[in-house]
Amino acid sequence: MKKLLLVVFIGLFLVGYVLAAGGTADEAKAMVQKAVAFIKANGNEKAFAEFNNNKGQFVDRDLYIWVADLKDSAKCLAHGANSKLIGQSLIDFKDTDGKLFIKEIVDLANSKGSGWIDYKWTNPTTKNIDRKSVYFEKLNTLVVVCGFYKS
């Protein structure tokens, strides 16, 4: 009986761990809000350096901050998961279904200031194409973004 209880306990623990492995909508939104406050308190240069630090406070499991310039073809200014994107225009990026999701983020940031969009993207943790939902906020000429995978 003790072995059975131990097996059940370990099984429940592992299921809980797997379910908690990815970020959530609330965590993504909170990370964007924290990032916006960090930019306001510390300025762009220090904030972008922290966002680019993949061991820093703005990278957590599959959650990471990225920032684009709304006035310069959505040029990537910071990216917590892929530093190769920094300096590149993201405006023409499409997901696997051909959706111009960066353009949609830019348009909505300029018209509404904040919001959510969904698209399909490679999950850096699993390397699979997964559905992703991102929250974004406009800050002056920047858009600050974080998303979670709905796998």
pLDDT digits (tens, 9 = 90+) for 29-53: 999 999 999 999 999 999 999 999 9
**Does a structural domain hold residue 6?**
no
Place of tokens 């406050």: 37
What's residue 125's pLDDT? Answer: 77
Q: Read off the pLDDT band of 10 (50, 70, 90).
A: very low
Bigger pLDDT: 4 or 64?
64
What's residue 126's pLDDT? Answer: 86
> In angstroms, how far is CA 107 from the centroid of its own chain?
18
**Does a structural domain hold residue 113?**
yes
Q: Read off the pLDDT band of 146 (50, 70, 90).
A: very high
**Does a structural domain hold residue 4?**
no
Of 55, 51, 53, give the one whose Cα is nearest residue 31.
51
**Does a structural domain hold residue 8?**
no
**Does a structural domain hold residue 104?**
yes
**Does a structural domain hold residue 11?**
no
Q: Could you list the residue range(s) of the whole structural domain that residue 122 is in?
A: 24-149
The total number of structural domains in the chain stands at: 1
pLDDT tens digits for range 117-133:
999 998 877 899 999 99
**Does a structural domain hold residue 118?**
yes
**Does a structural domain hold residue 114?**
yes
For residue 66, what is the domain's CATH number?
A: 3.30.450.20
What pTM, to 2 d.p., does this model score? Answer: 0.85
Q: What is the DSSP string of 29-74?
A: HHHHHHHHHHHHHH-HHHHHHHHH-TTSTTEETTEE-EEEETTTTT
Place of tokens 């916006």: 36
**pLDDT at residue 138 tops 70:** yes
Bigger pLDDT: 39 or 4?
39
pLDDT tens digits for range 63-118:
999 999 999 999 999 999 999 999 999 999 999 999 999 999 999 999 999 999 99
